[in-house]
């Protein structure tokens, strides 16, 4: 169980994070410079917060109240850096052995041999870091961390150096190794929501140094806690909304010139916004009966590999829809016919600024 409550001021940037994490993988997501990596470094003891407390399994690592600040080397924390940070002058074997060099030789040799097997680095022990592929480097970085038997594993954008195809392979490799060999809390810093969703159980959103939301991943996607949280989770359609009426099941809102029916729960706050993800919006070629169907004007159509992005204007709002390339509406659109958008009420979420 990790408990973090830390504040650190650096110039005009203030980091103020407050969260707990018990088991599984927690992804920390946010735009660059929001304090994600800094949070990891505070936990690891590489940056000292100005105030707060950090505890792991009831062991206090840092506390301003009781004047405790355990140095990084005694915290028993596993850290995998963005660029692997393997020591360039040491072989794979020496890199892995480095963290347990104070143990008796027999135990050391067995542990290194064991972890090399588990991280599929067999036969690479004598190689130097620059002779390894990106994936092998990160596996080696993971191996040398796991061999020290840390209490928690911190991964700082471990896949960002890899590109496209290799990235997916590396991701699944590392996560499989972690899931099989490490059963304590894991924090994964990333700026990619897809990655966060694929790999983790819970997601924490940091914005300008503050934790905006920490929840199960589906909750974060379905109910982002703020407009920015919604943007960070990849929501493209967010609009300010006026509540007209709200009953238990249905909420009527006015959004520009549109009157929309929504099914979500309205937060009891001012400045309400609604959001709907691009792939939930349908584009129809003719007006069928149903709710939330509006005539729209197509502004822009961008073809992707697997789907087509359509930007439409509707009642003074710009909607971005992600639709199938085989969509009937697209064919109609090419014939310059009038189109309609449909917004499923149950897919609309409410949020605030």
Partner 1 sequence: MNGINLFPLFLSFKVASASVAIALITGIPLAYFLSRNKNRLSYFIDSLMNLPIIFPPTVLGYYLLVLLGRQSHIGKFLENNFDIMIVFTPLGAVLASTIVSIPYLIKAAKVSFEEVDKDYINAARVMGKTETVIFFTIILPIAWRGVISGVSMAFARALGDFGTTLMVAGSIPDETLTMPIAIYNSLQADDGKTANIMVLIMTIIALATLFIISRLSYKRKGERNA
Residues 204-243 that bind partner 1 (CB under 8 A): none
Q: Is 39 helix (H, G, I), strand (E, B) or coil?
A: helix
Residues 312-341 that bind partner 1 (CB under 8 A): none
- Bridging pattern class, strands 282-284 and 317-324: unpaired
Stretch that binds partner 1, among 71-79, 180-188, 226-234, 286-294 (CB under 8 A): 71-79
Nearest to 318 by CA among 287, 294, 334, 338: 294
Nearer residue to partner 1 within complex by CB, 71 or 290: 71
Stretch that binds partner 1, among 82-90, 162-170, 247-255, 296-304 (CB under 8 A): 82-90
Residue 71 CB, shortest distance to partner 1, in Å, is 8
Residue 234 CB, shortest distance to partner 1, in Å, is 29
Residue 110 CB, shortest distance to partner 1, in Å, is 18
Among residues 78, 135, 224, 275, the one that binds partner 1 under rule CB under 8 A: 78
Among residues 10, 31, 59, 87, the one that binds partner 1 under rule CB under 8 A: 87
Place of tokens 């936990």: 43
Cα–Cα distance for residue pair 105/103, rounded to 1 Å: 6
Among residues 14, 48, 60, 83, the one that binds partner 1 under rule CB under 8 A: 83
Nearer residue to partner 1 within complex by CB, 6 or 141: 141
- Kindly determine how many residues on this chain lie close enough to bind partner 1 according to the rule CB under 8 A: 26
212 to 50, 70, 228, 348, 352: CA distances (angstroms): 20, 28, 9, 20, 11
250 to 95, 224, 348, 349: CA distances (angstroms): 60, 20, 11, 12
Residue 202 CB, shortest distance to partner 1, in Å, is 23
Cα–Cα distance for residue pair 145/257, rounded to 1 Å: 57
Binding map of partner 1 across residues 92-131, x = CB under 8 A, - = no contact: ------xx--x---------------------------x-
Cα–Cα distance for residue pair 221/169, rounded to 1 Å: 24
Residue 77 binds to partner 1 (criterion: CB under 8 A): yes
Q: What element of type H or E holds 279?
A: none
Q: Which residues pair with 254 in a beta bridge?
A: 242, 259
Binding map of partner 1 across residues 31-60, x = CB under 8 A, - = no contact: ----------x--xxx--------------
Nearer residue to partner 1 within complex by CB, 140 or 284: 140
40 CB-near residues (< 8 Å, 6+ apart): 28, 79, 154, 156, 187, 189
Residue 11 binds to partner 1 (criterion: CB under 8 A): no
- Give yes or no for a contact between 241 and 321, defined as CB atoms under 8 angstroms apart: no
Cα–Cα distance for residue pair 245/239, rounded to 1 Å: 17
Distance of CA 155 to the CA centre of its chain: 12
Nearer residue to partner 1 within complex by CB, 72 or 252: 72
Among residues 8, 139, 144, 236, the one that binds partner 1 under rule CB under 8 A: 144
Q: Which of left, alpha, beta for 167 (phi over 0: left; psi -120 to 50: alpha)?
A: alpha
Nearer residue to partner 1 within complex by CB, 144 or 236: 144
Residue 98 CB, shortest distance to partner 1, in Å, is 6
| Residue 9 burial (CB count, 10 A) | 13
By the criterion CB under 8 A, which residues form the site for partner 1? 41, 44-46, 71-75, 77-79, 81-83, 85, 87-89, 98-99, 102, 130, 144-145, 148
């Amino acid at each position: 169980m990790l408990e973090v409550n830390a504040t650190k001021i650096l110039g005009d940037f203030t980091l103020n994070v407050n969260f707990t994490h018990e088991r599984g993988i927690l992804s920390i997501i946010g735009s660059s410079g929001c304090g994600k990596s800094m949070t990891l470094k505070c936990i690891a003891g590489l940056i000292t917060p100005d105030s707060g407390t950090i505890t792991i399994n009831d062991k206090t690592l840092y506390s301003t109240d009781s004047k405790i600040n355990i140095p990084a080397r005694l915290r028993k924390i596993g850290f995998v850096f963005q660029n692997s940070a393997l020591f360039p002058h040491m072989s794979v074997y020496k890199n892995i052995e480095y963290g347990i060099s104070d143990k008796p030789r027999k135990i050391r040799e067995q542990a290194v041999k064991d972890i090399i097997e588990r991280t599929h680095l067999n036969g690479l022990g004598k190689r130097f870091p620059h002779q390894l592929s990106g994936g092998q480097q990160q596996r080696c970085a993971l191996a040398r961390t796991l061999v020290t038997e840390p209490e928690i594993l911190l991964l700082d954008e471990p896949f960002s150096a890899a590109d496209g195809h290799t990235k997916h392979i590396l991701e699944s490799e590392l996560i499989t190794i972690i899931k099989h060999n490490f059963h304590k809390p894991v924090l994964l810093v990333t700026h990619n929501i897809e990655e966060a969703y694929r790999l983790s159980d819970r997601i924490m959103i940091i914005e300008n140094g503050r934790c905006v939301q920490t929840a199960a991943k589906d909750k974060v996607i379905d109910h982002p806690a703020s407009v920015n949280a919604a943007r960070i989770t990849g929501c493209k359609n967010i609009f300010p909304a006026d509540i007209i009426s709200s009953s238990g099941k249905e909420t009527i809102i006015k959004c520009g010139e549109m009157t929309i029916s929504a099914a979500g729960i309205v937060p009891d706050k001012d400045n309400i916004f609604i959001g709907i993800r691009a792939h939930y919006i349908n584009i129809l070629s003719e007006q069928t009966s149903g709710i939330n169907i509006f005539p729209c004007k197509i502004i822009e159509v961008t073809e992707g590999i697997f789907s087509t992005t359509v930007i439409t204007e509707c009642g003074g709002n710009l909607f971005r829809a992600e639709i199938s390339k085989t969509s009937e509406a697209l064919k109609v659109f090419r014939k310059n016919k009038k189109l309609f958008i449909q917004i499923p009420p149950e897919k609309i979420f409410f949020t605030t600024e």
